[in-house]
Amino acid sequence: MSRISELAKVKKCSGEFVLAVNDTMNVLNGKWKLPIIGSLLYGKKRFKELEREIPKITPRMLSKELKDLEVNSIVTRTVYNTTPVTIEY
């Protein structure tokens, strides 16, 4: 009987693990997200700096991917009240 309960626990844990991995893969899915995250590992950057560091990414795609990463709490967006407005990721 204890063997059956152990198997049930293993199945439940492995199912939860698979769901967690699936969620992570959905968040990081895409051609540009990992290069963006890799670039930000070295410190805060402004939009144009990211655009220059990641070859062939369009401004529209960079903006979209940064918004997705921000929604999923992987990247934080900081707006500074300066003239002109400064935004760092």
pTM over 0.85: no
- Write down the pLDDT at residue 74: 93
Domains of the chain, residue spans: 2-88
If you average pLDDT over residues 79-88, what whole number do you get?
94
pLDDT digit string (tens) for 43-63? 999 999 999 999 999 999 999
Q: Is 75 a residue whose pLDDT tops 90?
A: yes
Domain 2-88 belongs to what architecture?
Orthogonal Bundle (1.10)
Q: Is 23 a residue whose pLDDT tops 90?
A: no
Are β-strands 86-88 and 78-80 bridged in parallel, bridged antiparallel, or unpaired? antiparallel
CB neighbour list of residue 42: distance below 8 Å, 6 or more residues apart:
none
The secondary structure of 15-50, three-state, reads HHHHHHHHHHHHHHCCCCHHHHHHHHCCCCCEHHHH
